[in-house]
Amino acid sequence: MKEIIDQLIKFRDDRNWKQFHTPENLSKSIVLEAAELLENYQWGTMNENKENIKEEIADIVAYCLLLCDCYGFDIKDILKEKIEKNEVKYPIEKSYGKSNKYNKI
């Protein structure tokens, strides 16, 4: 992952784009790409386009990695921490086979 993060940062810096990459602008961009991903399923699943889905996931994760760079977060660390929190929020016996939110289980 380190290598890809370095490529993303180089891509950004080669174009002098850091000035646009405020946390707020990156967060808006993540929402926009997430909506483009969702467009594949707007009216159901008959129009999904796998090549486009690949690109939209890549865009979302790329912006997330650039946002981590802004704040000095390590993506692996924050994922591990979140999984640990979710293990507490969603104990297996209470959430097995249920899609309810943690505050409704």
Distance CA 15, CA 21 (A): 12
Tell whether residue 102 is a contact of a copy of itself (CB under 8 A). no
Restricted to residues 35-74, the positions that interact with a copy of itself (CB under 8 A) are 35-48, 50, 53-55, 57-62, 64, 67-68, 71, 73
Give the three-state DSSP class for 25.
Answer: helix
Pair 48, 40: CB distance under 8 Å: yes
CB 29 to a copy of itself: min, Å: 6
Residue with tokens 């174009």: 15
CB 59 to a copy of itself: min, Å: 7
Give the three-state DSSP class for 33.
Answer: helix
Pair 60, 33: CB distance under 8 Å: yes
Binding site for a copy of itself (CB under 8 A): 1, 4, 7-8, 11, 14-17, 19-20, 23-25, 27-32, 34-48, 50, 53-55, 57-62, 64, 67-68, 71, 73, 75-76, 78-83, 85-87, 90, 92, 95-97, 99-100
